Structure 1
Amino acid sequence: MSDASRGASDTMRRCLMRRLPRLIMPTGLNRRSDKALASHPTPCADA
């Protein structure tokens, strides 16, 4: 592996590490899923 390709893979890895948390845990989706998860048990418990 050449130094140039190694450097490119390092930069790509850094970019991915920065983007991954946003892809896995977007704040808007987390808030919505929390509300959805909290509201599901109540209708089930009433039924």
Structure 2
Amino acid sequence: MQIGVPKEVKDQEFRVGLSPSSVRVCCEKAISFVETEAGWGRDF
């Protein structure tokens, strides 16, 4: 299974689909795809 977490591209928009702890769990189970720099605007 793949869960996509794209980074936001609109100006002044910093939301992401998963929290860092949720991404960690998904990555441990090898079921996610997190785009590079997703969450940087929120200091994740």
Which has the greater radius of gyration? 1
- TM, length-normalised to structure 2: 0.33
Say which structure is richer in helix.
1
Higher relative contact order structure (alpha carbons within 8 Å, sequence separation ≥ 6): 2
